[in-house]
Structure 1
Amino acid sequence: MKLQNFIKELYKTRIRLLALVSKKRAGNNAFRLFCTPLGKAGYALSPLLQSAEQLSLFYRQQHLKGYRWNKGGTRKLLIAHGFRSHVQRFEHLVPLLIEKGYEITAFDAPAHGRSGGKQINAVDYMQLVTGLTEQYGPFDSYIGHSFGGLAVALAVSEQPRNASVKMVLFAPAADTTGLAATFLQQMAITDPEIRQHFFNNVSRLSGKDLSWFTIKRCLPQLNSTVLWIHDKDDRITPVAEAYEIQELAPPQIRFIFTEGLGHSKIYRDPVVLEKVAGFL
C-alpha cells in the first residue's frame, strides 16, 4: 500500500472515531484533510532553478519560495502548479517561454515543495495568484495545472479587464463540488450531518458555497483567451468537466483533448507543448 493510501486509511479511522464523539469535529477534520497534500513532495534545486532569481514571500504567516527567470522580458507569465506538486515539475517550460520573450514567475504554493505550511484551499490559492499578480505582474499570460488551473481561472475572472490575458489550463480542476464528492466517497463519509459540517468550512472561510469555486461559474466574467488541454484518460480531474463546459460553447476557450497522457504527462508531451508555444 502506498504511503498516501495508508495515511488516508488512518484518517478514515480517526474520522469514524471522532464522529462517535462529535459529528462537527469529524466534519471539520475531514475538511482539513481535504486541504492537506499528503506526502508533501520536496526537491533539490536543479541547475535551471539555481539559475533563477530566488524569490521569497510571506503569505498568511507562511514563508513561500519562488523563482523568476528572464527579468525584464517583453511580457510576463505566471506558472501555478497543481495539488501535491511543485515548481520543479514545470521547469521544462522555462526555455520555451524565454524564447517567446516572457519574464517567468513561479512559486511553490503553501504546503507544497519548498514552501511552508500544511494546508491549502481554493480561497488561499486564488488569493495567492491575485497577490502575486499585484506584486510581480501584471501578467500577460498564465499557465495553470489542475488545482493551479482553477486558482488561475478564479483569480483572473476577478480582474476587471482580463480580455487581453492568455491562459493555458492543463487539466484544470474545474468542478470543486465534484472533487469534494469524490473525496467524501473515498473517505466513506455518508452521514449527512458530518458532510454538512464539512461544507460549512467553505462558507466560514469564504462566505460562499463550494459551487462558487468552479470554472463554469466564472465563465461570464472570464473574457480571456484560454487554451484548455485535457486528456480523455485523466483519473484525477475527469474530462467530463471539460466536455460540460465545451457544450456551453464559450467563444474564448479553445479545447484540445489528448489520449493516453493522463493527468501529469499532458504538460510534458512535445506535441502538446508545440501547441502551447503557438498559442502563447
Structure 2
Amino acid sequence: MQLTHPNPAAAFFTSAPARAVARLLRGLDRLAPRLSTRLALGLFFTPLPTKRLARGRPVPAPWTLSELPFENGHLGVWQRADALPDAPRVLLVHGWAGDAQQLRAQGDRLLAAGLAPVLLDLPAHGRAGGWRTNLGQWVRALFAVTARFGPWQGVVAHSLGAVASAHAMARGLPVQRAALIALAPPPRLFLSWFAAAMGVGEALAERMQRRIEQRVGVEMAQFDPAWLAPRLKQPTLLVHDHADRTAPLAGSAAMAEGAAQAVLLRTEGLGHRRVLQDGWVLQQVERHLAAQ
C-alpha cells in the first residue's frame, strides 16, 4: 500500500528510547524475522502514551464510573447520575490512546438535550483493565457494553473508535443514528506507517497483517471504508477537519460517498482532537442524534 499521507506514527518514535527500540527491531528483522514480528506486534498493540495519566484524573460529579467485566479484565463505564432513567441512551467511544473523558463535553450536551450519555473506556485505555489491545477486541467490547446498557439511540465515536463502531454496526450493533468524528485510516495503512516509522520494510507490515488477521479472525479489509460504507445503514454524520494530521480526510469522504444515509461536515483548524471540544461540532452532533 502506498503512503499517501504524512506518516503520523513517526512522531511517537523520535525519543532516544524509541530510536533504540527501532534499531533493535531493524536488527532482529534481518536476523530473526519471526521474533521481530512478535516484538513489533507488542509495540503496535500498546497504546502510547499509556493510560497512567487518565487513571490519575478524578471522576467529576455528576459523572459516575463503574466497571463492566470483560474477557480477562474490565471496561470503564461513565454515566451521569442525573440522567433520566427512561431517556434514550447514547454510547460515546474514544480513539486509540484516548479515553472516555475526552467525550465528557459531548456527553454533557447530550444530557441537556434529553439523552442519557454512556462513556466507555475501552481495553487498555482510561480506567479499563489491560495494557495491550487490538481492534477486534474493541469490537467485542462494544457488543459487551451494548448487552448491558443498549440498545442505543446513537453512537458518537472518535478516530479508531469510529472504525470499530462502524464495523460493529455493520455486524448488527443496535444503533439508530451515528456520529463518526475524525474517522481513522484503514488499519492496514497504519501498519505501513508503523513499519516505515521504525525503519523496517513493508515485508514486516505484511507479516504483521497475517498474524493480526489470524489472531482477530477478521480480514483487515473489513475495516476499510470500501467494505464498511455499503453496510452502514443508519443515518450517519461524519465530521472531519481539513487540518487533521493523524487521519486523512479521504477516509471520511469515502465513507460518506459509499453509505446510504451519510453526511460529511468539514471543519477548519481543529485538527484530530480539538474537534471533540468545538462548540459548533458539539451542537451538530447533538442535533443529529436527537433527530427523530
TM above 0.5: yes
CA contact (8 A) 2:88 2:153 kept: yes
Structure 2 counterpart of 1:57: 68
The verdict on how the C-alpha distance between 1:151 and 1:3 changes in structure 2, with shifts beyond 3 A counting, is: closer
Q: Which runs of 5+ in 2 are unaligned?
A: 1-9
TM-score, with normalisation over the residues of structure 2? 0.86
Match of 1:183 among 180, 189, 194: 194
Residue identity over aligned pairs, in percent, reads: 23
2:282 is matched with which residue: 270, 273, 280? Answer: 273
- Partners of 1:4 and 1:133 lie apart in 2 by 36
Matches within 5 A, 1:13-92: 13-41=23-51, 42-43=53-54, 44-46=56-58, 48=60, 50-69=61-80, 70=83, 72-92=85-105
The answer for unaligned runs of 5 or more in structure 1 is: none
Q: 60-69 or 253-262, which moves further after superposition?
A: 60-69
Aligned to 2:271: 262
Give the whole-Å Cα distance in 2 for the aligned partners of 1:111 and 1:71: 30
Q: TM-score, normalised by structure 1?
A: 0.90
| CA separation of 1:95 and 1:29: change in aligned 2, threshold 3 A | same
Indicate the RMSD between aligned Cα atoms, in angstroms: 2.2
Count residues with an aligned counterpart: 275
Distance 1:52 1:4, change over 3 A: farther
- SS in structure 2 of the partner of residue 104 of structure 1: strand
- Note the C-alpha offset of 1:108: 1.3
SS in 2 for 1:144: strand
1:220 maps to amino acid: P
Per-residue deviation, 1:20: 3.9
Alignment of 1:1-280 (within 5 A): 5-6=14-15, 7-41=17-51, 42-43=53-54, 44-46=56-58, 48=60, 50-69=61-80, 70=83, 72-159=85-172, 165-190=176-201, 192=203, 194-248=204-258, 250-280=259-289
* Amino acid aligned to 2:85: G
- Tell me whether 228-237 or 208-217 shows the greater mean CA deviation: 208-217
Query: How many Å apart are 1:82 and its aligned residue?
Result: 0.7
Hey, what's the Cα distance between the residues in 1 that align with 2:205 and 2:178? 34
Residue 124 of structure 1 and its aligned partner are, at CA, apart by 0.6
Distance 1:72 1:12 in 2: 51
In the alignment, is the contact (CA less than 8 A) between 1:126 and 1:154 conserved in 2?
Answer: yes
Give the Cα–Cα distance (whole angstroms) in 1 for the partners of residues 90 and 24 of structure 2: 42
What is the CA distance between 1:167 and its match in structure 2? Answer: 0.7
Task: Report the alpha carbon displacement of residue 65 of structure 1 after superposing the two structures with TM.
Answer: 2.3
Cα deviation code 1:157-211 (max 9, x no counterpart): 1117x5x61111110114222222222211122152x333211222211333321
Corresponding residue SS for 2:167: helix
SS at match of 1:91: helix
Indicate conservation of the 8 Å contact 1:27/1:196, yes or no. no
